[in-house]
Amino acid sequence: MTARELYEKIIKKNSFLCIGLDTDFNRIPKILRDSEYPIFEFNKRIIDATIDLAVAYKPNLAFYENLGAAGWMSLEMTVNYIREKHPETFLIADAKRGDMGNTSKMYANAFFRNLDFDAITLSPYMGRDSIQPFLEYRNKWSIILGLTSNEGSGDFQLLQLDDSYLFEYVISRAVEWGTKDNMMFVVGATQADQLKKIRKLVPGHFLLVPGIGTQGGSLEDVFVNGHNDQCGLLVNVSRSVIYADVTNNFEVAARQRAIEYRDQMKSLLQQSGLI
């Protein structure tokens, strides 16, 4: 998928919502826990309930690995289900990988070939050859950590260099390795004051923005500071959509919450003249 194609999907759905599938066995409705693949069953129902409202879904690998081989099976089933029923969806593996070339090549094969994700989140600490193997896949995306939404982002990412923060240096180097059709950056919604600077640094690139909802970031601030002329944003919400209600009513509640986000996004897209 190119950046242009992703933008077209955003326009079509009036939404730049990404739903994070941080699916925790202990938080899904009791009624699903006895099914053979409870995590997949939950994901399938969340996806079906929100597919017209979200342009992307983002399984968080930790939640699947925590269930071992059965977790991987649920991940595979989730990916295959989306590919079969909703092939137009942008699928992100939230994996935060990054290793030496030889190893990153294996991860790229695992996530882009075997599992057919469109994108993967990557940690930049090991530098260019840890990212390169992912960039070699056509129509696939590397989403590199820039400035994250957690408290620990202050420890290294906000380290003050001579004329910038470390995260700005990281983004300005990494952006040279790819294009706006195969590279995005993660910027936490809790860092809305920095978004303007990042948008200047990478005017044409998409940004993946977590931190709305449970973490407290403001969607409006993110949009105002972070959008570009092709939207340029995927805003992720995980827990506050998928666990909007933990009873048997969960699909209706998740849909309702996603509608609220979509409506807010539609209004922001309208105000900016993009739709």
Catalytic residue annotation = 96
CB of 225 within 8 A of CB of 190? Answer: no
Q: Which of 8, 27, 37, 70 binds a copy of itself (CB under 8 A)?
A: 70
- Residue 151 binds to a copy of itself (criterion: CB under 8 A): yes
- Residue 225 binds to a copy of itself (criterion: CB under 8 A): no
Q: How many residues does the chain have?
A: 275
Residue 190, classed as helix, strand or coil, is helix
* Cβ atoms within 10 Å of 176's Cβ, excluding its own: 8
Q: Which of 36, 69, 193, 200 binds a copy of itself (CB under 8 A)?
A: 69
- Residue 216 binds to a copy of itself (criterion: CB under 8 A): no
- Cα dihedral 80, 85, 86, 92, rounded to 10, equals -10
Residue 230, classed as helix, strand or coil, is coil
Q: Which of 63, 206, 223, 250 binds a copy of itself (CB under 8 A)?
A: 63
- Residue 140 binds to a copy of itself (criterion: CB under 8 A): no
Closest of 86, 78, 68 to residue 40, by C-alpha: 78
Buried-state track 240-254, b at ≥16 Cβ within 10 A, e below 16: bbbbbeeeeebbebb
Q: Which of 5, 12, 35, 101 binds a copy of itself (CB under 8 A)?
A: 101
Q: Which of 2, 5, 100, 229 binds a copy of itself (CB under 8 A)?
A: 100
- Residue 190 binds to a copy of itself (criterion: CB under 8 A): no
* Rounded-to-integer distance, Cα 246 and Cα 269, Å: 31
User: What single letter denotes the amino acid at residue 73?
Assistant: M
DSSP type of residue 202: S
Residue 195 has phi, psi (to 5 degrees) of -60, -40
- Residue 173 binds to a copy of itself (criterion: CB under 8 A): yes
CB 128 to a copy of itself: min, Å: 5
- Residue 68 binds to a copy of itself (criterion: CB under 8 A): yes
Q: Which of 11, 126, 201, 275 binds a copy of itself (CB under 8 A)?
A: 126
Q: Which of 97, 199, 227, 262 binds a copy of itself (CB under 8 A)?
A: 97
Segment near a copy of itself (CB under 8 A); pick from 150-158, 198-206, 227-235, 245-253? 150-158
- Residue 148 binds to a copy of itself (criterion: CB under 8 A): yes
* Rounded-to-integer distance, Cα 19 and Cα 217, Å: 15
* Rounded-to-integer distance, Cα 192 and Cα 195, Å: 5
Segment near a copy of itself (CB under 8 A); pick from 39-47, 80-88, 100-108, 134-142? 100-108
Judged by the rule CB under 8 A, the positions of this chain that interact with a copy of itself are 22, 24, 60, 62-63, 65-66, 68-73, 76, 94, 96-104, 106-107, 109-110, 114-115, 123-131, 145, 148-157, 159, 161, 166, 169-170, 173
